[in-house]
Amino acid sequence: MAIRVLLADDQALVRAGFRVLLERADDIEVVGEAADGDEAIMLARAHRPDVVLMDVRMPGTDGLTATMRLVGDERLPGTKVLILTTFDLDEYVFAALHAGASGFLLKDVEPEELRNAVRVIAAGDALLAPKVTRRLIAAFAGRTGRQGTPLERLDTLTARERQVVALVADGLSNQEIGDRLNMSPATAKTHVNRAMAKLDARDRAQLVVIAYQSGLTGIPRLR
């Protein structure tokens, strides 16, 4: 079945461009277009998309507010949000993650990268733009404080799981984690999923937030 996508951007030409790029793929279908956050929420409830491509700056209800409402809507348990913006501003990255977005990309992304990002998000993974660096996320995690995950919950992680979480926070994929730790991508994914379950993280994006807020970064490699 095709991945159902909803476009939310206040510029009609931008929406039209994304529609053309996405629908060149046989496995992606654009089911609606919204010009603001309120319309995005309304259309999401009507069409139940797998992924919402959400602009940040829109009139009325902005993209970050709309993301929080969509992620928290019990009627949309399978809908993921991918933030797309022209603004390469640090605040937006961490705000998007806190709002519940599963991914963050700049609008200068290549067409095939955009289509692959939609596939990644729809499959339940998270994706951050290459320009979203460890230093950037660390700075804003520190600014908001390092609380939110009880220390006793962190103690439930094995040494390997802690190590894998640190690499997720570095932005590594399952393939890259496997290459780094000499394990298969499937094994790496298993460790990620177990860590997410123990920390009550809904996806990899939230796992990144927890890693920085809880001090799980900078963990040395196992010998």
Q: Hey, is 34 helix, strand or coil?
A: strand
Question: Which is higher by pLDDT, 219 or 50?
Answer: 50
Over the chain, what is the mean pLDDT? 82
- pLDDT of 223: 30
Distance of alpha carbon 31 from alpha carbon 47, whole angstroms:
7
Q: Give the pLDDT score at 201.
A: 81
Q: DSSP H helical segments within 76-158, as ranges? A: 90-99, 111-122, 134-143, 151-154
Over residues 77-92, the mean pLDDT reads 81
Name the residue with higher pLDDT: 19 or 204.
Answer: 19
Give the pLDDT of residue 9.
94
Q: What is the DSSP string of 155-196?
A: TTS-HHHHHHHHHHHTT--HHHHHHHHTS-HHHHHHHHHHHH
Average pLDDT for residues 9-30, to the nearest whole number?
A: 93
Cβ-contact 52, 80 below 8 angstroms: yes
Residue 59 pLDDT more than 60? yes
> Which residue has better confidence, 80 or 102?
80
| Axis-axis angle for helices 111-122, 12-23 (nearest 10) | 80
The pTM for the full model equals 0.70
Residues near 126 by Cβ (< 8 Å), separated by ≥ 6? 102, 103, 120, 203, 204, 205, 206, 207, 208
Please give the DSSP secondary-structure letter assigned to residue 27: T
